[in-house]
Structures are given as structure tokens and as C-alpha cells.
Amino acid sequence: MKLNKIALALVAVAAAPLAANAGVTISPLLLGYHYTDEAADEQREILTTGKNLYENANGDQIGNGDRGNNNGGVAKESSLYTGAALGIELTPSTQFQVEYGVSSANGEASEDSADAGVNRFDIEQTMISGNFLIGTEEFTGYTDGKFKPYVLVGAGQSKIEVENQEQYVTDNTTPGVNVPAGTEVSSSKDTIGNLGLGAMYRINDALSLRGEARAIHNFDNNWWEGMALAGLEVVLGGHLAPTVAVPPVVEPTMDTPPIVVVETDVDVDSDGDGVPDSIDACPGTPMNVVVDERGCPVPVDITDELKMELRVFFDNDKSAIKNQYKPEIAKVAEKMREYPNSTARVESHASKTGPSARYNQRLSEARAVAVKSMLTNEFGIAPNRLSTVGYGYDRPIAPNDTEEGRAMNRRVYAIITGDKTMTVEQTKDMVIQ
């Protein structure tokens, strides 16, 4: 897996200077299943694990000294394949790719090797190859559609390395040779050929999904392997554009009358408002705006209404406004400045705790005047836009026989109303409504 990570880094570095050219392809990760069962017998003949194996790591004698020799060996099990590829498009439907991949698996020992006590191996197979991906469009001429089948043909090199997982000792006639765990005990470097069928599904001009089935032939040892893989292909700079056939130019003859091109004046409507440019007094009008016969926006008046409320609560027998309500009063003032014709009616109330109804009446009026004074003196709202009224304790909103109810009744309630008219450009949405 370390080699595979190095290969991915090499692909990224190699692609960087090519990124400015169209048709450079990168498959940063190819995942697949590497099938090797059909090659098992041939692999055991090539990948032998030593000679005259007779002792395991504990020193126990196993076999008669003739087991686990050149008639034994191991075969690589089928396993996961990971790889990466860098390529370049030769035509809009054919490309050449350099692919590097690794598949690692346990080794499957022969009966002789297993009887000798040496039957656990790690096998890593690395493959590097150059492949042509030839699209069927080269033969059919059909270029439409996102599904792009292809035929794969290529060749390269395969290297198989075998490491033992357990320590063992070789040779029972001379002092034994100790083979530590993790030692490379066999290897094979061979020439391979690739033949496969696959397809690309273009998500967009830069990304494609890739799926493929491939047969791999080992020429040096005459065995076959199989592989099914999938991945994502990235195209740098966009795909090569298909070649468009240009019809030949026919020279006029004496018998062929010359072609006369008649130019006509067409009055263009550049902004699409329905008024030709020749009489459009307001060019560049947005598409959704209603225009008049001169091509200029049609104004329309719209009215925006204001209605908001203000509630301020007071301490018992007090008309001073607490700091926590000043931001709310400031918001009312801001809205009244935004709507110049708006007015506010300030209604004030008291709880039934004063010495007399007359006292509570004056207290409620004082609270209303306090809110009006803050709007006028601190926020600049004209006094004639504000009206006040005190109701004493005649309009409670909660029972006066509890402290909570009396706190709710010591209040100022203001209603702010108004409207403003704005002139805007009429849009087609307004006409529809």
C-alpha cells in the first residue's frame, strides 16, 4: 500500500504541468477485484518457498527433509486491487494511459509446504502498464450520449514478492539457516498483456465514472488472471472536441449562376423589451420591467402601511421609564421617522393601590406624558404627532388583588399607525397580480 500511495503522488505531480492542455486524464483511484485462482498451479511452480524445510520457529522437526521443496510453493489468493492512472486523449474517443496498481493477499501454500510447517505468506503484486482505451465511436462514428463504451489493449510488467509470516529453518543436513519472519523468500518479474472491455459515463465535461472488466496474460509463465475495477476519471482542460467535417468549396462554373447574397436591414431589439433599438430611448432595460412605447420603464406608486405596538410597564407609584424599555421606544421613533405621516396614541393605566381614584388618574396621565416626552425630547418626534390619555385603574387587564396582576396593570400601551407612498418601476409581476 505504501507503493500505491507513492504512485498516486507521482500521478498528481506529473499531471500538474499538463493541466493547461486539453485532454489530460487522471484516474486518482481505481478500485477492483483481482482474480488469480486460475493461475494457482502455475504460480506454485514459480513461487517456491525454499528447499528441505524441516524445522519450525520452535525447533520442532517436521517431515523427512524432502517436503516443501521445489515441488511445493505458494499461490497468491484473489484480493482487492488499488491503482491510479495518468493519460492523454489521442482523439476525442481514444486515449493512452499509464497505470500503476497493487494487490496484496495471503499466500495459499501447497500441500508439501503446508506439511513442512511453512504455510503462511504475504504476497504483494505490483503492476505497471501502458494501455490504449479505444472508444467504440472510432468504429461506429456515433458521438452523442453520455455513455462511452471502449476496448482496452495494453502491456506492461508484473512483479510478485513473497514474504514469510513465520520464522523457519532450512536444510536438515548442515547447520540450519534461520529465515526470520518478513523475509522475501521468492519473487517473479514478468511481462503481461491486458485485454478488456469497459465504459465511461460522463457526469460533465470534467468528470466521468469508469467501469471495466479485464483479462491479464502472463507471457513469461503462461497463466491468466482477471480483474474487475471501477473508478472516477478527471479531465484537465476539457475533452478534445470532435472534428467536424467541412464540405468542400464548389467553385462556380460558367454554367452555374453566381450566388447572390442579399443583405437586409433587421431592426434588432437588444434588451428584449419589445421596442426596436432604433426607437428605444432607454436601452438596457431589465427583462422584467414594463416599458412604454419609447422603451422606458413605466413608474407606479405603491403604498406601504405601518402598524406597530409599544408596551411599557412601571414600578408601583412611579412614572419614570425604566432603562429596559428605552430601546423599544427608540424603535418606535425610528419607524415614525421612516413614515413621516405616522401618529401614535399613548394610553396609560394604573393599578388600584393609590389613595384615591383621582390620584391614580393623575399617575396614569403622568406615565403617558413620560413616554411622549421621551419620544419628543430624546428622539425628535413632533409633539403634534403624539396624543396621550390616562385611564387610571378603570381598564385593568389583570386582577388587582395580586401583586402580579397589579404589576401588569401599571402600564402604557401605544398604537403607532401610518403609511408612505413610493414610486417604483412597474414590473410584469405586478401586472400579473
Q: Do 194 and 315 have their domain in common?
A: no
The pTM assigned to this predicted structure is 0.47
Q: What is the three-class DSSP state of 125?
A: strand
Domain end (from 211, 236, 261)? 236
Q: Is residue 415 part of a domain?
A: yes
Is 131 found in the same domain as 19?
yes
Same domain, yes or no, for 80 and 210?
A: yes
Domain assignment present for 253: no
CATH number at residue 132: 2.40.160.20
The CATH number for 311's domain is 3.30.1330.60
- Print pLDDT tens along the chain (433 aa): 444 454 445 444 444 444 445 689 999 999 999 988 767 666 666 666 543 333 444 444 333 334 334 435 667 788 899 999 999 999 888 999 999 999 987 766 555 555 555 556 788 999 999 999 998 887 776 667 888 999 999 999 999 888 877 776 665 444 556 667 777 777 889 999 999 999 999 999 889 999 999 999 999 888 899 999 999 999 987 787 766 555 676 665 666 666 766 665 668 888 888 888 888 899 888 888 888 988 899 888 888 888 899 999 999 889 899 999 999 999 999 999 999 999 999 999 998 887 888 999 998 999 999 999 999 999 999 999 999 999 988 899 899 889 899 899 899 999 999 888 888 888 877 754 4
> Does any domain span residue 108?
yes
Burial code of 356-370, b = ≥16 C-beta within 10 A, e = fewer?
Answer: eeeebbbbbbbbbbb
Beta bridge partners of 243: none
Q: Where does a domain end: 189, 218, 236?
A: 236
Alpha-carbon gap, residue 119 to 128, rounded angstroms: 29
332 and 212 housed in the same domain: no
Residue 101 corresponds to which cell in the numbers above?
A: 496498481
221 and 330 share a domain?
A: no
Which grid coordinates are listed for 409? Answer: 396593570
The residue range of the domain holding 336 is 302-425
Residue 282 lies in a domain: no
Q: Of 213, 236, 259, which residue sits at a domain end?
A: 236
Sequence-separated contacts (24+) of 323-329 with Cβ below 8 Å: 326/374, 329/371, 329/374, 329/375, 329/379
Number of domains in the chain: 2
